[in-house]
């Protein structure tokens, strides 16, 4: 057996001296004069006035309640694939147009376009970085903003884009007439 097992120890546990273990942390908000005078760190822990209202106001200032608009402008969106007067869900002419465009366009061009749009969302463009104009935010990219509590709209935009791409792929595959088109 390994050296130091409790079953092989010659000294009973009750005779071992008890060492204080752990870390003792003194709360500077609660300073008891009798305990502090006997403390070794009485010179470092000075008594000070604690203002809870001031600390609460500082915490509220730190948690900015900034909301950013969505990147997608659905009201003004225009495309050559959809009719301008009325957009019906699963419009046959729009689906055929998308299928033809996907078949005629090279995979590298499609990948470059999707990557460019993703980068505009996550990194931002020179014209579209709403977080740079907000004082106190200090964020340089959309991916950094998405990690912050105030970046909920950017997170929702990214999730919505991913879900729409998933739906586009599923609908495109399911609406193909033949196995060769799929």
Report which DSSP code applies to 67.
Answer: -
Burial annotation 106-144 (CB, 10 A radius, 16+ → b, else e): eeeeeeeeeeeeeeebbebeeeebbbeeeeebebeebbb
Report which DSSP code applies to 152.
Answer: H
Q: Is the pLDDT of residue 150 over 60?
A: yes
Length of the chain: 182
Burial annotation 149-175 (CB, 10 A radius, 16+ → b, else e): ebbebbeebbeebeeeeeeeeeeeeee
Q: At a CB cut-off of 8 Å and minimum separation 6, what does 68 contact? A: 130, 131, 145, 150, 151, 153, 154
Task: Pull the structure tokens for residue 34.
Answer: 């009798």
pLDDT of residue 93: 82
| pLDDT, tens only, 34-61 | 444 555 555 555 555 666 777 666 666 5
pLDDT of residue 20: 57
Q: Pick left, alpha or beta for residue 136 (phi over 0 → left; psi -120 to 50 → alpha; otherwise beta).
A: left
């Amino acid at each position: 057996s390994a050296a130091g097992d409790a079953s092989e120890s010659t000294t009973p546990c009750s005779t071992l001296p008890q060492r204080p273990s752990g870390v003792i942390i003194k709360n500077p908000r609660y300073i008891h004069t009798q305990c502090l005078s006997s403390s070794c760190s009485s010179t470092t822990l000075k008594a000070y006035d604690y203002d809870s209202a001031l600390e609460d106001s500082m915490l509220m200032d730190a948690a900015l309640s900034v909301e950013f608009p969505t990147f997608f402008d659905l009201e003004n969106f225009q495309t050559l694939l959809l009719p301008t007067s009325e957009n019906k869900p699963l419009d046959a002419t729009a689906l055929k147009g998308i299928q033809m465009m996907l078949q005629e366009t090279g995979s590298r061009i499609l990948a470059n376009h999707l990557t460019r749009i993703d980068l505009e969302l996550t990194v931002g463009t020179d014209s579209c970085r709403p977080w740079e104009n907000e004082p106190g935010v200090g964020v340089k990219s959309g991916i950094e903003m998405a990690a912050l509590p105030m970046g909920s709209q950017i997170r929702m935009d990214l999730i919505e884009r991913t879900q729409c791409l998933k739906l586009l792929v599923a609908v495109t595959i399911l609406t193909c007439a033949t196995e060769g088109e799929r």
